């Protein structure tokens, strides 16, 4: 059996219609790496595309339990990029960390891993050095040796894509394992979990590179081990 990978839905608009969706590259990266993807949908009666996170009420106990029932189906969670961090994102992140469920955070997903304790530790990047949509080779990321990420990627540095406007300034109970030449934090891993890695770039768009394949394969491998525990 392939491990079940929950991909968290993101609010979007399509032809003036509000939707919850997943970018195809996330789904395909999971399948190519040996996982079986399912979509994790938030439980609240909210049209998320119409509201920022601060405008949405807190989840009720019933809504949290509804979300729990979805998460129980999963052997691992892929937390994708996006624009807003909602309470359900933080809840899912904490669920994985508390239960030692493998989680791979990408872009906004990495920021959620870094801020799941203190949500106000993001800083606006004042130039466009990290917001380069459509460019596969935006800047360099140095990988810290003796880290889990280094053991996975087997590279001292990567040339990555980049399309984020905010940067992480504190990492809580994580360790910084990747940074760019200006020392902007580009990768973290949680010190207390078997697999909880966040990267600020988008490896799902770079699956032609061996390093991206290794990252997703390692994530799926951790999910298989988690499957065997259940």
Q: How do the domains of the chain map onto residue ranges?
A: 4-229
Element (H, E) at 139: strand 139-143
Q: Report, at the CATH architecture level, how domain 4-229 is classified.
A: 3-Layer(aba) Sandwich (3.40)
Q: Residue 106 carries which DSSP code? A: E
Token pair belonging to 196: 């909880």
**Does residue 73 surpass a pLDDT of 90?**
yes
pLDDT at 230: 46
Spatial separation of the C-alpha atoms in residues 225 and 11, rounded to whole Å? 31
Token pair belonging to 88: 């359900």
In sequence order, which residues have a C-beta less than 8 Å from that of residue 152 and are 6 or more positions away? 214, 215, 218
Spatial separation of the C-alpha atoms in residues 138 and 146, rounded to whole Å? 25
For residues 187 and 125, the model is more confident at 187
For residues 1 and 96, the model is more confident at 96
- Place 228 in a pLDDT band, splitting at 50, 70 and 90: low
- Calculate mean pLDDT across residues 134-146: 93
pLDDT at 164: 86
């Amino acid at each position: 059996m392939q491990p079940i990978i929950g991909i968290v839905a993101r609010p979007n608009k399509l032809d003036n219609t509000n939707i919850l969706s997943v970018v195809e590259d996330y789904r395909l990266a999971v399948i190519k790496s040996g996982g079986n993807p399912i979509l994790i949908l938030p439980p609240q009666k909210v049209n998320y595309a119409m509201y920022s996170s601060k405008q949405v009420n807190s989840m009720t106990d019933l809504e949290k339990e509804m979300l729990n029932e979805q998460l129980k189906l999963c052997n691992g969670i892929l937390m994708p990029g996006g624009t807003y961090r909602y309470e359900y994102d933080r809840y899912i992140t904490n669920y994985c960390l508390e239960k030692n469920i493998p989680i791979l955070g990408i872009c906004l997903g990495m920021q959620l891993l870094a801020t799941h304790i203190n949500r106000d530790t993001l800083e606006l990047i004042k130039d466009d050095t990290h917001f380069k949509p459509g460019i596969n080779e935006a800047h360099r990321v140095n990988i810290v040796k003796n880290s889990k990420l280094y053991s996975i990627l087997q590279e001292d540095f990567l040339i990555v894509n980049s399309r984020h406007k905010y940067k992480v300034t504190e990492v809580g109970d994580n360790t910084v394992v990747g940074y760019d030449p200006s020392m902007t934090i580009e990768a973290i891993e949680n010190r207390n979990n078997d697999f909880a890695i966040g990267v600020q770039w988008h490896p799902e768009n770079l699956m032609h590179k061996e390093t991206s394949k290794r990252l997703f394969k390692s994530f799926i491998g951790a999910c298989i081990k988690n499957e065997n525990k259940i």
